[in-house]
Amino acid sequence: MPPNFYRHLQLITLAISLFSMSSPFAQDVDYPKGPVKLIVPIGAGGGTDILGRKVAQKLTEILKQSTFVENKAGAGSLIGTDFVAKASPDGYTLLVGGLFNMVMNKALMKNLPYDPAKDFVPLGYVSSYPFVLTLRPDFPANNLAEMVKVMKEKPGQYSYGSAGVGTLQHVWGNILLRNLGLELIHVPFKGSPPAYQEMMAGRLDMIFDNVSSSKSYVQTGRIKGIAVSSEKRTQALPNLPTINETNLTKFNGESWFGIFAPTGTSPAIVNKLRAAMAQINKDSEFNAQIEQDGGRLLNIPASQQQAFLLDEINRWVPVVMNSNIKVD
């Protein structure tokens, strides 16, 4: 043996060990060892819940451990979101977050118990959906201009529903109606499905809701679709004009969704979950489901995920604050 053979062997072993510890590619983490809980801060049956269950199913397949949805509704998504913000950052309690709870709540609540930009780590954004303005089936209007005319004749006598005070249906509905010069009574529900039941029964006049929740009702004629909030028409309801097309007002917005972990979650677990979310975004079956629901894939690289959240906060918070909507 050469005189320095064992010394060289020790140095090589040490170098390999250090590389294994520092390289994100060589890093492997024994996670998850048990079920992962995905908190949906909205009631069961709505668009957020539907999407959360699809993501949970794919995470179960990729992580080889059960990922299940738990609905923690209440206080306009505040209860479930704050629950995750204060959960143990061990990767076993994750959040379905979106424009509604990661942006809107910041503008709506003076004493928000969590900071969206500081208390959460984005693991991956999933999809983005337009909202659909819909009316009860027997409402005497078939387009936005007719709706405005009818409602202006009897101000304060018509109603619009939402999935709860402070939800995106409430906030965007309020902003849109104000832009159109309309006064409607807001009727909050615990989730959007009860609102649709009231609309089909003729007891609620309007709801402005995510296309993934509303499209089946519109497609089957159980409620009337009037217009969509996106910049372009949605393939799910191609006959509906965009709000901007009507030239009655300007409104361009889509509701986006992503998966978040509490701040403090180890980089190794974050990286593993981000890899799983990236895999979901490439899944053809998942993508087809998103498109079928009327959405589009929102594939944002990990290096840009935090910046995306900050941009959305800076875009929408001033608009909502100027509308004077408050929930506390």
Residue 81 has phi, psi (to 5 degrees) of -65, -45
Helix (H, G, I), strand (E, B) or coil at 151: helix
Q: How many CB atoms lie within 10 A of CB 64?
A: 8
Predicted pLDDT of residue 4: 53
C-alpha span between 28 and 17 (Å, rounded): 13
C-alpha span between 269 and 89 (Å, rounded): 10
Q: How many CB atoms lie within 10 A of CB 319?
A: 14
More confident position, 103 or 325: 103
Query: Could you tell me which of 89, 4, 77 has the C-alpha nearest to residue 41?
Result: 77
Predicted pLDDT of residue 190: 82
Query: What would the pLDDT profile of 275-305 be if each residue is shown by its tens digit?
Result: 999 999 999 999 998 988 889 899 899 999 9
pLDDT band, very low/low/confident/very high, at 9 (cuts 50, 70, 90): very low
Predicted pLDDT of residue 45: 80
pLDDT band, very low/low/confident/very high, at 173 (cuts 50, 70, 90): very high
C-alpha span between 54 and 25 (Å, rounded): 28
* Residue limits of CATH 3.40.190.150 in the chain: 36-129+255-322
Indicate the average pLDDT of the chain. 89
Among residues of the chain, what percentage have pLDDT more than 70? 91
C-alpha span between 131 and 152 (Å, rounded): 23
Structure tokens given for 241? 């004009």
More confident position, 9 or 99: 99
pTM, rounded to two decimals: 0.77
CB 213 within 8 A of CB 192: yes
Query: What would the pLDDT profile of 122-154 be if each residue is shown by its tens digit?
Result: 999 999 999 999 999 999 999 999 999 999 999
Range 36-129+255-322 has CATH code 3.40.190.150: yes
* Residue limits of CATH 3.40.190.10 in the chain: 130-246
Average pLDDT value for residue range 155-168: 89
Predicted pLDDT of residue 10: 47
pLDDT band, very low/low/confident/very high, at 26 (cuts 50, 70, 90): very low
So what's the architecture of 130-246 in CATH? 3-Layer(aba) Sandwich (3.40)
Task: Specify the DSSP class assigned to residue 103.
Answer: I
Q: Is the pLDDT of residue 255 over 60?
A: yes
C-alpha span between 195 and 187 (Å, rounded): 9
Q: 206-210 and 185-188: which strand pairing?
A: unpaired
**Three-state DSSP string of 186-231:** EEECCCCHHHHHHHHCCCCCEEEEEHHHHHHHHHCCCCEEEEECCC
C-alpha span between 321 and 221 (Å, rounded): 36
CB 323 within 8 A of CB 178: yes
